[in-house]
């Protein structure tokens, strides 16, 4: 009997949210889709968050993923950018949690390492490796969608491993795993 699983990968952002979907059949990856939600034209940050939430729900309701892999925001030089990314990630996670889809969070270096073997790989290197792995004819102009696809592929490669990243199965699990952070505020 064939075992099937659909994994939705998300690269959150308030300018562009990239996403990719793979189907796993009998431990073999198959490309389903990748795309981007373009948010540049919206000035209001709350409109952007609403659109991220709605698009994530639409993806869940259309493709019925069994799991979501999401790229974690990383600390760069700009704290405001990290805050915006964290909000984008949070609303995408909230959409998944509202539909009871388990979520695993991966650091960008872990995703790059899973795809290329190099945690410092460029977006272009990740995209080219995905193109080769999944036999994609062309790559998109913007590489946010390949970053979302990379999160899904990373999750596939890390399946069954202990301590792959933060993993939430629903609101209760999220609250339980983050109570110490909430209590400190």
Respond yes or no: is residue 66 known to be catalytic.
Answer: no
Q: State the catalytic residue, choosing from 36, 71, 105, 147.
A: 71
Given a contact cutoff of 8 angstroms between Cβ atoms, the answer to whether 9 and 70 are in contact is: yes
Q: Is 71 annotated as a binding residue?
A: yes
Active site residue 71: yes
Active site residue 144: yes
- Strand pairing report for 4-11 and 166-168: unpaired
How far apart, in whole angstroms, are the C-alpha atoms of residue 84 and residue 18?
15
Answer for the pair 108, 148: CB distance below 8 angstroms, yes or no. Answer: no
Up-side HSE of residue 105: CA atoms within 13 Å toward CB?
A: 17
Residue 43 among known ligand-binding residues: no
Active site members: 11, 71, 144
Which residues does the annotation place in the binding site for Mg(2+)? 11, 71, 144
Which residues does the annotation place in the binding site? 11, 71, 144
């Amino acid at each position: 009997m064939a075992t099937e699983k659909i994994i939705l990968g998300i690269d959150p952002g308030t300018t562009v949210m990239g996403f990719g979907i793979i189907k796993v059949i009998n431990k073999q990856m198959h490309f389903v889709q990748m795309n981007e939600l373009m948010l540049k034209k919206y000035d209001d940050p709350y409109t952007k968050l609403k659109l991220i939430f709605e698009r994530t729900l639409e993806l869940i309701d259309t493709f019925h993923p069994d799991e979501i892999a999401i790229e974690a925001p990383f600390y760069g030089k700009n704290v405001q950018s990290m805050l915006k990314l964290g909000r984008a990630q949070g609303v995408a996670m909230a959409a998944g949690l509202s539909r009871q889809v388990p979520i695993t969070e991966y650091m960008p270096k872990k995703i790059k390492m899973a795809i290329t073997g190099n945690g410092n790989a460029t977006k272009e290197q990740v995209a080219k490796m995905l193109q080769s792995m999944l036999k994609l004819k062309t790559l998109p102009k913007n590489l946010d969608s390949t970053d979302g696809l990379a999160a899904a592929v990373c999750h596939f490669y890390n399946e069954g491993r202990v301590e792959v990243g933060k993993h939430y199965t629903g609101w209760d699990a999220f609250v339980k795993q983050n109570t110490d952070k909430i209590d400190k505020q």
